[in-house]
Structure 1
Amino acid sequence: MDTLTRMRTFVEVVEAGGFSAAARKMGRSKALISKYVRELEDELGARLLNRTTRTLSLTEVGQVYARDATEILQRIDDLQTSVGDAHAAARGRLKVSAPRTFGDGELGRAIMDFVVQEPGITLELHLEDRFVDLVDEGFDVAIRITSLTDSSLIARRLASFRIIICASPEVLERHGRPEVPSDLAGKPCIIDTNVGYRSNWPFVIDGERVTVGVKGRVEVNSPNAARLGALAGLGFTIVPFLVVREDIANGRLIPVLESFEPAGVAIHAVYPHRRHLSGKVRAFIDSLVHWFEKYSPPGGSC
């Protein structure tokens, strides 16, 4: 019996919560399941499970082994799935979560391009700003704009995500162009309450992240509304570059303090760590990667 089979049996016992449940799931006898786990412990020279007549628990070593073994098995399964799905057509229902503002714009176009290209896909797109629980809520994939620190998810980076400060030419003429972030403290600003920093705008100065408190008589809860306020000459605002890209190209809005912009945030496609990457999800993510490579400006930043 090979180590991989013993490892997989052990993980099944842990996930099922016992030998009997694992045996039923795997279609094998409880005695055989117990034998495989015992052989694994003998091979490792360490006890992985504490067994009593009524309870089963992981030892400290068992906890570490279960975590790492699960990851190894997932990678093996994903590799086998990727080979099998390499030439298969994407099909089935695809449930996707994405941030509302982004989904209404650039990302929405990328997603709809994918659906056009894949007639076997039925799309269920949820646009909302909260971070959904992919497993509990049954999502296949989520698009997130973040630095992404959740190790329970697998992520594919799609593009950098640029946050800029901008204002109309009229505002710059009336109030002057800020040279350093602290200059904004005395200038009218449009505040988006839908972002975490609200009126404490983030910057990077000499490699360190700092915030500057700003004020203004306009507060909104959408970057699109912040854009409209900036176009109306109501002050400086902080918005995703993708929201104002055309306005900047046409000179309606002017970026400022570009050398102080925060970095490290990116657009990611994420999916549950322990879920097999199906053909439809793989095709969807690959499509987004290619879309951003094609349509993003130089540097891959949105």
Structure 2
Amino acid sequence: MDTLTRMRAFIAVVENEGFSAAARKIGRSKALLSKYVRELEDELGALLLNRTTRQFSLTELGHTYYIRAVEIVREIDTLQDMVRDSREGVRGRIKIAAPRSFADSSLDQALIDFAAANPEIGLDIQLDDRFVDLVEEGFDLAIRVTALEDSAMIARRLAPFRLKIVATPETIAKYGAPEKPEDLSTRPCIVDTNARRRNNWILKDSDGRVAGVTVTGPIEVNSPLSTRAAALSNLGFALCPDFIVKDDLASGAVVEVLPGSTSEEAGIYAVYPHRRYLPGKVRALVDYLAEWFKDYGAAAT
């Protein structure tokens, strides 16, 4: 049994948070994975995992080994991809992180369409609103809906979007339409805690001056979809990505207030780690997404 196979088994157990889940995910038996990890520990002469009947955790050495093992296995896979791309064309699996808001809107159709058009490439899509560590957690690519700031990654902008302040006609009738950004501090607002500035909304007034407005309200939630739902239930004013409330604005279910007050235009980005060689499968996906969003944006206008 080679060390690389044992390393892959160890990584699978860590990433799936246990032997049973890892066995189900990769189609190996729990006993076999346990055997591989035990052999790896024997080979290293160190305990990597703390195991009890109810708990699972990495030892300090296990955490260090995991980080480096992911890097080593990634490099080996990248080398194999490079050779395979040149001989056989684009194929393999891509591990992708994307926010739930991306999937809960219509935008996840981009990944579905890619999978349908590229049967030789498998997608392992993990939905999570937190910013994952691509290198440490072994992701090939992340879709991020944000104003990008992480210079340690390579990013390609797929599409722009703007944040809009919206409320139902009933909410506006009850509390009055805000005439300037600071008016929102006296009205109920729904706070999306995923936003970088949470309840400190950065807005600009009619003279173009930018300032933070502190808002409060009945609900704070880490989901733009739940933020939208709360706004539709007349609970207050909400700051939402335009692609989340596009249909609501078109139908009149919500109305935009203080148009033009959101100061920064964010974007939908494909983000991937710095590498000496970008696997062809990842390059193919990024190119496909760029074209898909170009067509999506054209259809929306």
User: Under TM normalisation by the shorter chain, which class is it?
Assistant: 0.5 to 0.7
1:156 aligns with 2:156: yes
Q: Indicate the RMSD between aligned Cα atoms, in angstroms.
A: 2.6
Paired with 1:86 and 1:245, the residues of 2 have a C-alpha distance of: 43
Residues 1:287 and 2:288 aligned together: yes
- Asked whether the equivalents of residues 103 and 127 of structure 1 are also in contact (C-alpha less than 8 Å), the reply is yes
- Cα-to-partner distance string for 1:58-96 (whole Å, 9 max, x where unaligned): xxxxxxxxxxxxxxxxxxxxxxx99x9699743111111
Secondary structure class of the residue paired with 2:294: helix
Structure 2 partner of 1:97: 97
The Cα of 1:215 is off from its aligned counterpart by 2.0
2:142 maps to what in 1?
A: 142
- More deviation, 84-93/231-240: 84-93
Do 1:190 and 1:236's aligned partners in 2 also have CA atoms closer than 8 Å? yes
Residue of structure 2 equivalent to 1:22: none
Matched ranges for 1:214-253 at <5 A: 214-253=215-254
3-state secondary structure, aligned to 2:252: coil
Normalised to the residue count of structure 2, the TM-score between the two structures is 0.66
Q: In the superposition, relative to structure 1, how do residues 94 and 225 fare at CA in structure 2: closer, same or farther (>3 Å)?
A: same
SS in 1 for 2:151: coil
In structure 2, distance between residues paired with 1:135 and 1:290? 26
CA contact (8 A) 2:163 2:265 kept: no
- The amino acid of 1:270's aligned partner reads V
Q: Aligned letter for 1:169?
A: P
Corresponding residue number in structure 2 for 1:182: 182
Amino acid at match of 2:161: F
Paired residue secondary structure (1:224): helix
Cα distance in 2 for partners of 1:217, 1:145 equals 25
**Which SS does the other structure have where 1:178 is aligned?**
coil
Please name the residue that 1:55 is paired with.
Answer: none
Q: What residue is the counterpart of 1:66 in the other structure?
A: none
Q: Which has the larger radius of gyration?
A: 1
Residue 10 of structure 1: aligned partner? none
How much does 1:241 deviate?
1.2
Contact 2:181 2:204 (C-alpha < 8 Å) held by counterparts: no
SS of residue matched to 1:216: coil
* Aligned CA distance change for structure 1 residues 173 and 134 (closer, same or farther; 3 Å): same
Alignment of 1:249-260 (within 5 A): 249-260=250-261
Mapped to 2, the partners of 1:247 and 1:119 lie a distance apart of: 35
Cα distance in 2, alignment partners of residues 154 and 129 from structure 1: 20
Letter in 2 for 1:238: L
Does the aligned pair in 2 maintain the 1:89–1:120 contact within 8 Å?
no
1:10-25 equivalent positions in 2, closer than 5 A: none
User: Separation in 2 of the partners of 1:179 and 1:89?
Assistant: 58
Equivalent residue number for residue 197 of structure 1: 197
Question: What is the percent sequence identity of the aligned residues?
Answer: 48
Q: CA deviation at 1:237?
A: 0.8
Aligned 1:264-279 pairs, distance under 5 A: 264-279=265-280
Q: Which moved more, 1:103-112 or 1:230-239?
A: 103-112
Deviation at 1:145, TM superposition (A): 2.2
> Shift of the alpha carbon at 1:200?
1.5
Deviation of 1:166 after TM superposition, in Å, equals 0.1
Structure 2 residue ranges without an equivalent (≥5): 1-80
Q: Which runs of 5+ in 1 are unaligned?
A: 1-80
Over 3 Å counting, the alpha-carbon distance change for 1:87 and 1:286 in structure 2 is farther
CA–CA distance in structure 2, aligned partners of residues 258 and 104 of structure 1: 25
Q: Give the match for residue 47 of structure 2.
A: none
